Amino acid sequence: MGKNTGDKKIEELLKRGVAEINVREHLEERIKKGEKLRVKFGIDPTGPDIHLGNAIPIRKLRQFQDLGHKVVFLIGDFTARIGDTSDKTAIRQPMSEEEIAENMKTYKKQLAKILDLDKTEFVYNSEWLDRLTYKEILKLQSLFTVAQMVERENFHDRFSAKKPIGLQEFSYPLMQGYDSVAIKADVEIGGTDQTFNMMAGRDIQRVYGQEPQDVMTLRLLEGTDGRKMSKSYGNIIKIMDEPNDMYGKIMSMKDESMVNYFILCTDISMEEIQEFEKELREERVNPRNIKVRLAKEIVKIYHGEGAAAEAEKEFERVFRNKELPSEIEEIKLEVGKCGILDLLVKAKLASSKAEAKRLIVQGGIEVNGKDEKDWHRIIEIEKGEKIILKAGKRKFVQISF
């Protein structure tokens, strides 16, 4: 006999996209006994957008919600003033309270695409971290050694390279750990880059007389360039991206990332994903066809089935049939002579003339459907004329004069 629905949901919760659970047996036992757990996830509002990499733990939170557990969504409005350096190679610039408040404005709207907000408790860690006394801070600091901190990979690399490490950076895992005390977390989830910080929470909870939280680390997602998805790298796919942009970004990513995306970003069953993986490995299918399915599934989650179907049609029209997009941004400029570099900057297809030159040299610019090779080119424009500029694979602008 097969497993019942409840067992399958628990297995999916504990396995899908999960790198490690500390302590797995303890967490599984509590879930199967029917305990209602407080599940913590924190995010620092260091930017206004939630991307697919951020969405992985949020989707895991939804699985906890569907099993009846309480999600505690922690917004790190205090810790954002320092910034987590778990995956950073340099000191983060401190953020102002105004920047943090601005970034937080649209968070709940974005989260509503994944979480049941009525079943979500929102907390802000400034509520307790602002009130910590120096005596309490010393108590937290006494739990860890400098050696423990410097052994962390990013700190070790920076120390070896004689790059500066700010003392405030050592405080970040202490504050994240104290967050778990403040909200009485039973479970904390995060990416593998958060392991040290989350495990610190277990040590700090013990000192405050609480049962240590179980820690669930989740696999990280690659960005469009194959590196870890990060705002710092500019390789993100935002969950609020327009359907056509989201679809196009997914279609442009590396084939090797597809299986990971299916596991971490979609609701497709693991059995079907394993079949995709087998077909790709045995070269029984065109990878593009699998990627089309992936792009449609992800767009459907965030924009609906109709938008996913329209995005597919638009992509086929522009990239397979070499037609123009159905909607192109239009910019009006004065008639006369204009250098191609200036034209690209005015069209906002390049941030500077140097970038415009680089795009042309690399073969990334088309003018009226033809590759532009000459960055010295001067274009003479007459009244009523229109020019279609294309930068890269997806950026189109129509210039009218």
pLDDT tens, 294-307? 999 999 999 999 99
pLDDT tens, 87-100? 445 555 667 778 87
* Rounded percentage of the chain residues whose pLDDT exceeds 90: 55
Higher-confidence residue of 79 and 383: namely 79
* Cα-based torsion angle of the residue sequence 110, 115, 120, 123 in order, rounded to the nearest 10 degrees: -40
Range of the domain at 193: 5-220
- 368 and 274, same domain (yes or no): no
- 190 and 302, same domain (yes or no): no
- 311 and 345, same domain (yes or no): no
Report how far apart, in Å, the C-alpha atoms of 10 and of each of 29, 242, 343, 347 are. 11, 33, 57, 52
The answer as to whether 232 is a domain residue is no
CATH assignment of the domain containing 294: 1.10.240.10
Alpha carbon distance 154, 89 (integer Å): 6
Confidence at residue 80, expressed as pLDDT on a 0 to 100 scale: 84
Dihedrals phi, psi of 331, to nearest 5 degrees: -125, 135
Report how far apart, in Å, the C-alpha atoms of 398 and of each of 75, 325, 354 are. 41, 11, 22
Highest mean pLDDT: which range of 24-38, 243-257, 316-330: 24-38
Residue 257 is encoded by which pair of tokens? 């990332």
- 279 and 203, same domain (yes or no): no
Alpha carbon distance 320, 212 (integer Å): 54
How large is the average pLDDT for residues 273-280? 94
The answer as to whether 231 is a domain residue is no
CA quadruple 384, 385, 388, 389: dihedral sign: negative
How large is the average pLDDT for residues 320-345? 71
CATH assignment of the domain containing 334: 3.10.290.10
Higher-confidence residue of 215 and 107: namely 215
- 262 and 306, same domain (yes or no): yes
Residue at which a domain ends, from 320, 345, 377: 320
The answer as to whether 235 is a domain residue is no
- 285 and 164, same domain (yes or no): no
Residue 47 is encoded by which pair of tokens? 């930017």
The answer as to whether 367 is a domain residue is yes
CA quadruple 15, 238, 230, 357: dihedral sign: positive
Q: How many folded domains does the chain comprise?
A: 3
Banded pLDDT at 1 (limits 50, 70, 90): very low
Banded pLDDT at 324 (limits 50, 70, 90): low
- 257 and 341, same domain (yes or no): no
The answer as to whether 225 is a domain residue is no
In terms of Cα–Cα distance, which of 37, 26, 92 is closest to 64?
A: 37
pLDDT tens, 164-180? 888 888 888 999 999 99
- 80 and 136, same domain (yes or no): yes
Alpha carbon distance 127, 139 (integer Å): 19
Report how far apart, in Å, the C-alpha atoms of 312 and of each of 123, 245, 270, 280, 293 are. 39, 11, 24, 21, 10
pLDDT at 334 over 80: no
Mean pLDDT for the chain overall = 87
- 197 and 271, same domain (yes or no): no
- Surface-to-core class of residue 147, CB atoms within 10 Å of its CB (0-12 exposed, 13-18 middle, 19+ buried): exposed
pLDDT tens, 55-103? 999 999 999 999 999 999 999 989 888 765 554 455 556 677 788 778 8
Instruction: Give the CA diameter of the chain.
Output: 78
- 35 and 184, same domain (yes or no): yes
Confidence at residue 303, expressed as pLDDT on a 0 to 100 scale: 96
CATH assignment of the domain containing 49: 3.40.50.620
The answer as to whether 233 is a domain residue is no
pLDDT at 54 over 90: yes
Higher-confidence residue of 161 and 369: namely 161
Q: Residue 80 carries which DSSP code?
A: G
Residue at which a domain ends, from 160, 186, 220: 220
Residues sharing a CB contact under 8 Å with residue 7, sequence separation 6 or more, in sequence order: none
The answer as to whether 230 is a domain residue is no
pLDDT at 348 over 70: yes
Helix pair 243-252, 287-303: axis angle to 10 deg: 150
How large is the average pLDDT for residues 284-300? 95
- 171 and 287, same domain (yes or no): no
pLDDT at 380 over 80: no
Higher-confidence residue of 152 and 207: namely 207
Please calculate the CA angle 134-138-142 and round it to the nearest 5 degrees: 175
The answer as to whether 272 is a domain residue is yes
Distance, first Cα to last Cα, the chain: 72
Higher-confidence residue of 224 and 15: namely 15
Residue at which a domain ends, from 320, 350, 385: 320
Please calculate the CA angle 301-322-224 and round it to the nearest 5 degrees: 40
- 143 and 9, same domain (yes or no): yes
